[in-house]
Structure formats: C-alpha cells, structure tokens
Amino acid sequence: AQSVTQPDIHITVSEGASLELRCNYSYGATPYLFWYVQSPGQGLQLLLKYFSGDTLVQGIKGFEAEFKRSQSSFNLRKPSVHWSDAAEYFCAVGPTSGNTPLVFGKGTRLSVIA
C-alpha cells in the first residue's frame, strides 16, 4: 500500500537559516510527488510537484525539492527561511496514471524564531 513518512513532527529554525524537511514514500512504481503548505486556518497550497524529468524541482516561495529514487525520498529545502514560512508542511504521493487519490504524510510543523 502507498504510504508517506515525514519523520519530523516539529522543526524550529532561526530566520535566515537553511531548512530541510524530510519525506520518504512507499509506492509500487514511480509516483507523482507533491509538497503542500498549510497556514493556520487555511487550506493546503501546492508548493511544488515532481512527475518526470529533472529530479530537482523548483517551487513557489523559494522552495525546492529533490527526488531520489534510490532512497525513495523527496526532501524539501529552502536556503534561507523567512518568518512567514512558519506553517505545516505535507508531503503527498499519487499515481502517474489512473484515478487513485493522493496519500498524505502526517505533516511537519515549522516554527521560525528570530
């Protein structure tokens, strides 16, 4: 069965510091991979997605993620965090064909300190 693991429940970083959020997935084939962000009281907003080609994908708000097939990982990175990046981040996996819905990880809550 498909599954997504986000091993870090909560991460705190200083403003201006670099960030890496981990995501590992279990899937029968190469999936589509997504990172979503959720600010308090809001729905989920897509940060970036991978479905083919270059394994390093760029997203909105200065985020990037790298797909590593050998490690079944899709870690999210940002070189310099801003206070407004404080939010919940969800990794999700979906099929490259068919109509199977996305499966989400439990999320990583990011806090940013001055």
Partner 1 sequence: EAGVAQSPRYKIIEKRQSVAFWCNPISGHATLYWYQQILGQGPKLLIQFQNNGVVDDSQLPKDRFSAERLKGVDSTLKIQPAKLEDSAVYLCASSLGGGRGTGELFFGEGSRLTVL
Which residue do the tokens 């993620």 mark? 65
Output phi, psi for 72, to 5 deg. 50, 50
107 near partner 1, judged by CB under 8 A = yes
Beta bridge partners of 112: 13
Residue 111's SS3 state is: strand
Q: Which amino acid is at 71?
A: Q
Q: With contacts defined by CB under 8 A, name the span among 22-30, 41-49, 61-69, 77-85 that binds partner 1.
A: 41-49
Asked if 35 touches partner 1 (CB under 8 A), the answer is no
Shortest CB 107 distance to partner 1, Å:
5
Burial class (CB in 10 A: 0-12, 13-18, 19+), 77: middle
Q: Which residue in the set 18, 26, 42, 84 belongs to the binding site for partner 1 (CB under 8 A)?
A: 42
**Binding range to partner 1, per CB under 8 A, among 18-26, 63-71, 72-80, 87-95:** 87-95
Identify the CA nearest to 114 among candidates 83, 74, 69, 75: 83
Q: Which of residues 44-73 bind partner 1 (CB under 8 A)?
A: 44-46, 49, 51
Total residues in contact with partner 1, by rule CB under 8 A: 27
Binding site for partner 1 (CB under 8 A): 4, 32, 34, 36, 41-46, 49, 51, 90, 94-107
